């Protein structure tokens, strides 16, 4: 449609209703200038120009896109950017008045509308958009605005925010082209444009299209031949039904969702270390295989952990929320990155399910959509309750996590837990028996009677010796007790003490304090701490972030209370108790901790000055070993430190300035009486109800109790070892809501107003009966009243089958997004999807059963001008296969494809040292160790995705590094893509194996061999011209390899799959070249 000049639209403007006062009328005519010679235009000219404008101007489709693009930046939702107090994105603002009291828009009277006055002005101080914005309105756009006002300026809310209503199915004239209502919605627009639809696709192309769309894999030649014998509609429907039940279908659907969910096998950011999320990916495959309703599919991923009596699989599903990038950079501010993860969940959820760009409201009100910054942080409140850290290890999963055991181990674990419960019951029974016998009364105890001492350091003198040419200072001539820094001896509680003055000093005890989850221990020391900032370390053998802080420690926290932690991984896999009494600074105090080896926080105690503290349990979830480990999670004999923590990467070492005296480590749990005796604290109570006397007796003198505790230690150890086979997956878990604030400019530390969970008001808000958590959010997202979710879902699957969504911007259904090409069809499908209980297979079957889907995609010259982008779908769509499908097509055609479903990611061929270029921190990902055997030939969806070094061949074909949510991949066309197909070992080996395969099927004629290979790769038989070219190429290559046999051997040696030496190498090499050439034929990598 041609666009006229501004003057060309003046005849139309002249016919409008300029009913106004004389002064205002004169002003308008002066501003428009050219209207003075309107009479020079003929009536016929007016009629011709009018025809260029739509008969009926629709606000959403014609006017709003202009306002969004040219006006909203200064007069839209963003309050801080708004100028002149005008807000044009709301009805009240657009139909309101200027500060001078004039109407912005006067329905039916363009001449009375200030908007017309400004857009037609030639005065640079008056024209809108202003000159400095570098935005302009075309003459056609001005004409549409004017005509819209003249027609009454009917306002509509944004189309995507309107309720989904039942759309009547239109009637069309060419009924023979109708298979279901999709065709009627598509057909009515074709009729309006006078376009005839294309004929159905030929059977070969149609079957290949269906196979690729439903499974991501091509049909076999055998399947194609069977269909060609009976290309009936009934038989084709039976094929579709069969494919929809296959694992391949579930894998194909999962591939698309992995982009949406930003699934990867590494953390991203600078370290980009290993993480293991593949069980979540396998959950997705299973969900699609079982045709889980999409609302359930989404709900379990968003909030499966909050469902009543949540199952292991429902919790696993929430890995969707934890697929985001996680930093391991030392020195980052923990809270800053923790909030980045919250923001990622908001952006992923809003894009995947709602098609909104909510991230634009993180720092200010959205500039185009009616989403305020406050609403962004209300949405954030749903995702801000996870107990997680901002900085994590280079490798490994970060809590909270779920441990997944093989079924055999689950059975063993259940049995072990039964034994542990029985032992604990027997211990309680024995305790009651001893209490009734009163054998524990009248006991005497002194510190010399305490058993199990592993090390004692009275700290009386320092000595120095040389080790490996370095001077080492030790305490009390004990080579296992080292001193870092130039600390001094001062008067202590018992004699002398070692006093630490700065964070470069510390006490290191080698080969002591190495206790695992099932091993009881006790540790005590006299301390005289000084006031200081932050946490302060008393004992610590925990590691740094790269071992997820594995070990145990005793700290003084920022509230001056004592903390005792036994850690496998922070923050989720640990035992932690905290005292309710506070340390007094500047005074000598005795601190003692004990643990019973039960794996439970109830078995931990903190004592201060010989008295047991009242402790509160903060964490009680320790499942695996707490022995110190290195960055590869292998056990190490880390020294027990006093005065310093091991937080080497964040700069926080939790230094305790003060003095230490009489350090004692025991390899058993001490009783309260024994703890008191160590500090010579008096103990006088000896009544029958004295729990401490009985406890001492049981642990020291009762053989039954000691036997049971030894047995408990054994079975807790077995329980721990069973978890060695577990696969750990990051999931959602929340106990207590965290306060959420609006963050000024999105800065983590700039907290402003507190907010509660909520959703944007433009989407009707969330019903009060829904819980104010992620489960309530999920229910709101999939409620019938939500106008977005069903539309967004239908559109994304439509895009999968047609290459383009009904809304081209699948990620943006807001004001900046594209308008739907067929809005009535979108709403009809959306409503039908909900009425069919979110059945995705129903939706897919409806789409592929339509005549629209089955049309030929062959180029039509008449459509080049009428519909060059095939938006109206007069013909079938044609687009390149995804990166994964191109590789899988080659593997399938060659017979190499291994159809194993699920499991750990695999490492097929890729150029050497790709990872080495960017891997400096992750021990597991320093080197790309290529797989061998079957793993080389798995489907591409299982290829390992390292975010900073994704598979280069797939990235060349527009693969995704999965750093963030992507709902629509770009499509490029570069020479590198042809080079990949020609030279990548995957395709060369596949071409060789295809040559072996066709030769093994007893086809001796060269034409038959090439024809069969062509069919396997393209799904059809070659035409005469194609066959002539390929046979010529084969003859040329035969001569080439006969003249240089070493070249044939070199070519056939590419790839690890064994070479069939029974064939003539020159013939096999020539056929390999031909097959490789066919792989570069566009029908091998195009879906038509």
> Could you tell me which residue, 547 or 979, shows the higher pLDDT?
979
pTM of the model: 0.92
Q: What distances in angstroms separate CA 1061 from CA 171, 933, 1000, one per listed residue?
A: 64, 19, 12
DSSP state for residue 351 in the 8-state scheme:
I
H helical segments located in 810-902: 823-835, 840-848, 851-854, 861-866, 883-894
Give the pLDDT of residue 28.
Answer: 41
pLDDT higher than threshold 70 for residue 38: no
pLDDT higher than threshold 70 for residue 682: no
pLDDT higher than threshold 90 for residue 746: yes
Distance CA 275, CA 663 (A): 40
Mean pLDDT, range 92-113, rounded to an integer: 89
Give the pLDDT of residue 90.
Answer: 86
Mean pLDDT, range 756-772, rounded to an integer: 94
Least confident among 432-436, 541-545, 742-746: 432-436
Mean pLDDT, range 894-909, rounded to an integer: 98
| Whether 974 contacts 991, CB under 8 Å | no
Give the pLDDT of residue 19.
Answer: 38
Mean pLDDT, range 958-971, rounded to an integer: 97
Give the pLDDT of residue 461.
Answer: 87
DSSP result, 104-136: S--TT-GGG-HHHHHHT---TTT-SS-GGGT--
What digits encode the pLDDT tens for the residues 1033-1076?
A: 999 999 999 999 999 999 999 999 999 999 999 999 999 999 99
Q: Which CATH fold would you assign to the domain 447-685?
A: Jelly Rolls (2.60.120)
> Could you tell me which residue, 90 or 34, shows the higher pLDDT?
90
Q: Start-end ranges of CATH 2.60.120.200 in the chain?
A: 447-685
Question: In sequence order, what E strands does 416-560 have?
Answer: 453-457, 462-467, 470-475, 478-484, 488-491, 496-500, 506-509, 521-529, 536-540, 551-556
Which helix (H) or strand (E) segment holds residue 989: the answer is helix 985-1000
What digits encode the pLDDT tens for the residues 363-372?
A: 999 999 999 9
The contacts found for 762-770 with CB under 8 angstroms, 24 or more apart, are: 762/158, 762/161, 762/369, 762/370, 762/371, 763/161, 763/354, 763/787, 763/788
b/e per residue, 185-224, with b = 16+ CB within 10 A? bbbbbbbeeebebbeebebbbbbbbbbbbbbbbbbeeeeb
Give the pLDDT of residue 176.
Answer: 76
Least confident among 4-18, 308-322, 550-564: 4-18
For helices 203-215 and 221-229, angle between their N-to-C axes, nearest 10 degrees: 130
| Whether 72 contacts 368, CB under 8 Å | yes
pLDDT higher than threshold 50 for residue 855: yes
Neighbouring residues of 473: CB distance < 8 A, sequence distance ≥ 6: 462, 463, 464, 482, 483
pLDDT higher than threshold 60 for residue 964: yes
Taking alpha carbons only, the member of 672, 667, 580, 569 closest to residue 626 is 569
Give the pLDDT of residue 390.
Answer: 94
pLDDT higher than threshold 50 for residue 698: yes
What digits encode the pLDDT tens for the residues 568-602?
A: 999 999 999 999 999 999 999 999 999 999 999 99
Q: What percent of the chain has pLDDT over 90?
A: 75
What digits encode the pLDDT tens for the residues 709-740?
A: 999 999 999 999 999 889 999 999 997 889 99
Give the pLDDT of residue 1004.
Answer: 74
pLDDT higher than threshold 80 for residue 271: yes
| Whether 512 contacts 454, CB under 8 Å | yes
Mean pLDDT, range 492-508, rounded to an integer: 92
Q: What are phi and psi of 488, to 5 degrees?
A: -120, 155
Q: What are phi and psi of 472, to 5 degrees?
A: -120, 130
Give the pLDDT of residue 42.
Answer: 29
Band the pLDDT of 447: cuts 50, 70, 90.
low
Q: What are phi and psi of 286, to 5 degrees?
A: -65, -40
What digits encode the pLDDT tens for the residues 770-829?
A: 999 999 999 999 999 999 999 999 999 999 999 999 999 999 999 999 999 999 999 999
Mean pLDDT, range 141-157, rounded to an integer: 91
What digits encode the pLDDT tens for the residues 464-494?
A: 887 777 788 898 889 899 998 888 899 999 8
What digits encode the pLDDT tens for the residues 183-212?
A: 999 999 999 999 999 999 999 999 999 999
Mean pLDDT, range 501-515, rounded to an integer: 92
> Could you tell me which residue, 664 or 461, shows the higher pLDDT?
664
Give the pLDDT of residue 487.
Answer: 86
């Amino acid at each position: 449609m041609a666009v006229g000049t501004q003057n060309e639209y003046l005849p139309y403007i002249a016919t409008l209703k300029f009913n106004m006062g004389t002064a205002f009328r004169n002003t308008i005519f002066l501003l428009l200038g050219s209207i003075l010679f309107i009479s020079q235009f003929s009536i016929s000219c007016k009629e011709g120009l009018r025809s260029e404008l739509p008969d009926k101007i629709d606000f959403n489709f014609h006017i709003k896109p202009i306002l969004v693009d040219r006006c909203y930046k200064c007069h839209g939702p963003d309050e801080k950017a708004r100028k002149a107090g005008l807000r044009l994105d709301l009805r009240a603002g657009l139909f309101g008045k200027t500060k001078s009291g004039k109407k912005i828009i006067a329905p039916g009277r363009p001449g009375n509308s200030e908007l017309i006055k400004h857009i037609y002005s030639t005065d640079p101080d008056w024209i809108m958009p202003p000159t400095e914005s570098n935005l302009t309105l075309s003459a056609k756009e001005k004409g549409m605005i004017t005509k819209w006002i003249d027609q009454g300026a009917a306002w509509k809310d944004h189309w995507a925010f309107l309720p989904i209503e039942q759309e009547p199915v239109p009637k069309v004239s060419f009924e023979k082209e109708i298979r279901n209502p999709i065709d009627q919605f598509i057909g009515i627009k074709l009729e309006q444009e006078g376009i005839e639809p294309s004929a159905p696709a030929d059977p070969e192309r149609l079957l290949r299209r269906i196979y690729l769309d439903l499974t991501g894999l091509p049909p076999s030649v055998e399947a194609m031949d069977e269909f060609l014998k009976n290309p009936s509609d009934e038989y084709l429907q039976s094929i579709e039904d069969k494919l929809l039940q296959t694992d391949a279908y579930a894998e194909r659907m999962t591939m698309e969702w992995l982009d949406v969910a930003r699934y990867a096998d590494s953390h991203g950011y600078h370290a980009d270390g290993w993480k293991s999320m593949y069980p979540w990916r396998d959950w997705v495959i299973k969900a699609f295989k079982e045709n889980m309703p999409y609302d359930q599919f989404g709900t379990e991923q968003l909030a499966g952990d909050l469902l009543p009596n949540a199952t292991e699989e429902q919790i696993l599903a929430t890995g969707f929320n934890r697929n985001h990038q996680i930093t391991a950079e030392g020195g980052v501010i923990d809270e800053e990155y923790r909030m980045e993860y919250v923001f990622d969940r908001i952006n992923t959820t809003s894009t995947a399910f709602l098609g909104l760009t909510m991230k634009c409201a993180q720092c200010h009100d959205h500039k185009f959509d009616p989403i305020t910054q406050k609403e962004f942080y209300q949405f954030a409140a749903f995702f801000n309750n996870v107990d997680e850290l901002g900085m994590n290890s280079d490798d490994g999963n970060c809590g909270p996590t779920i441990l997944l055991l093989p079924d055999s181990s689950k059975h063993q674990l259940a049995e072990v837990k039964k034994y542990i419960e029985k032992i604990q019951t027997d211990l309680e029974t024995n305790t009651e028996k001893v209490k009734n016998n009163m054998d524990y009364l009248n006991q005497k105890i002194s510190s010399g009677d305490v058993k199990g001492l592993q090390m004692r350091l009275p700290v009386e003198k320092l000595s120095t010796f040389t080790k490996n040419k370095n001077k080492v200072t030790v305490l009390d001539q004990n080579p296992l007790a080292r001193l870092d820094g130039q600390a001094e001896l001062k008067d202590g509680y018992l004699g002398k003490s070692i006093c630490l003055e700065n964070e470069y000093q510390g006490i290191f005890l080698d080969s002591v304090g190495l206790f695992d989850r099932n091993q009881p221990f006790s540790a005590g020391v006299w301390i005289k701490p000084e006031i200081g900032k932050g946490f302060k370390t008393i004992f610590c053998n925990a590691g740094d972030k790269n071992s997820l802080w594995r070990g145990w420690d005793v700290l003084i926290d920022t509230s001056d209370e004592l903390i005792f932690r036994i850690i496998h991984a922070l923050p989720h896999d640990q035992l932690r108790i905290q005292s309710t009494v506070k340390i007094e600074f500047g005074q000598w105090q005795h601190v003692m901790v004990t643990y019973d080896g039960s794996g439970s926080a109830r078995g931990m105690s903190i004592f201060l000055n010989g008295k047991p503290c009242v402790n509160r349990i903060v964490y009680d979830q320790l499942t695996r070993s707490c022995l110190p480990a290195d960055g590869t999670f292998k056990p190490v004999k880390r020294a027990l430190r006093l005065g310093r923590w091991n937080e080497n990467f964040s700069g926080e070492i939790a230094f305790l300035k003060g003095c230490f005296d009489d350090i004692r480590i025991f390899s058993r749990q001490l009783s309260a009486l024994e703890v008191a005796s160590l500090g010579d604290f008096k103990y006088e109570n000896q009544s029958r109800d004295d729990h401490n006397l009985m406890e001492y007796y049981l642990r020291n003198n009762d053989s039954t109790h000691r036997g049971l505790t030894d047995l408990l230690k054994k079975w807790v150890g077995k329980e721990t070892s069973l978890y060695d086979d577990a696969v750990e997956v990051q999931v959602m878990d929340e106990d207590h809501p965290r306060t959420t604030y609006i963050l000024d400019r999105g800065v983590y530390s700039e907290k402003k107003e507190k907010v509660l969970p909520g959703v944007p008001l433009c989407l009707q808000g969330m019903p009060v009966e829904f819980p104010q958590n992620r489960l309530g959010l999920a229910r709101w997202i999939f409620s019938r009243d939500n106008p977005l979710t069903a539309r967004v879902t239908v559109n994304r699957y439509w895009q999968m089958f047609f290459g383009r969504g009904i809304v081209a911007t699948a990620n943006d259904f807001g004001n900046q997004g594209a308008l739907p090409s067929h809005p009535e069809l979108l709403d009809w499908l959306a409503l039908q999807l909900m009425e069919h209980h979110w059945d995705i297979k129903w939706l897919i079957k409806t789409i592929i059963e339509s005549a629209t889907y089955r049309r030929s995609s062959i180029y039509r010259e008449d459509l080049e001008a009428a519909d060059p982008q095939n938006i109206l779908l007069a013909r079938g769509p044609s687009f390149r296969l995804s990166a994964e499908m191109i590789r899988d097509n080659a593997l399938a055609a060659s017979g190499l494809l291994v159809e194993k479903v699920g499991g750990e990611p695999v490492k097929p061929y890729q150029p050497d040292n790709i990872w080495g270029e960017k891997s400096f921190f992750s021990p597991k990902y320093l080197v790309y160790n290529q797989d061998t055997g079957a793993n080389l030939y798995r489907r591409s969806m299982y290829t390992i995705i390292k975010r900073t070094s994704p598979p280069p061949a797939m990235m060349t074909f527009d693969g995704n590094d999965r750093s963030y949510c992507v709902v629509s991949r770009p499509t490029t066309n570069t020479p590198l893509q042809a080079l990949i197909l020609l030279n990548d070992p995957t395709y060369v080996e596949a071409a060789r194996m295809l040559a072996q395969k066709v030769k093994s099927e007893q086809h001796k004629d060269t034409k038959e061999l090439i024809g069969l290979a062509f069919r396997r790769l393209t799904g059809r038989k070659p035409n005469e011209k194609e066959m002539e070219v390929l046979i010529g190429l084969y003859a040329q290559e035969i001569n080439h390899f006969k003249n240089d046999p070493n070249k044939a051997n070199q070519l056939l040696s590419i790839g690890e799959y064994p070479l069939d030496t029974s064939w003539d190498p020159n013939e096999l090499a020539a056929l390999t070249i031909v097959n490789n050439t066919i792989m570069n034929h566009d029908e091998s990598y195009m879906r038509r």
